[in-house]
Amino acid sequence: MGIKCPWDTNTAIYYLQQQFPPSAEEFIDSRLSDSNPAISAITEMELLCWKTATEKELEILHCDG
């Protein structure tokens, strides 16, 4: 499994909050089963400063894989 899919901050947030249509969520789920998303340092900082994140979302963000 390699890194094949770069994510920006909004993609990560929308995915965690399940705001994508079902077809898009299924596509992302299939991509995640093959590889981890690439998260830039800037995206990581933005996600860690995300003020409206729930405890569950923060737990996912702090997971190392």
CA geometry: angle at 25 spanning 20 and 28, to 5°?
120
Distance of CA 19 to the CA centre of its chain: 12
Domain ranges, residue 27: 5-61
Share of residues in the chain with pLDDT > 70 (%): 89
Taking 70 as the threshold, does the pLDDT of residue 44 lie above it?
yes
Taking 60 as the threshold, does the pLDDT of residue 12 lie above it?
yes
- How many other C-beta atoms are found inside a 10 Å radius of the C-beta of residue 61? 15
Average pLDDT over residues 6-14: 91
Looking at the structure of the chain, the number of domains it has is 1
Rounded distance between C-alpha atoms, residue 23 and residue 27, angstroms: 6
pLDDT digit string (tens) for 15-24?
989 999 999 9
User: What do you get for the CA distance between the two ends of the chain, in Å?
Assistant: 12
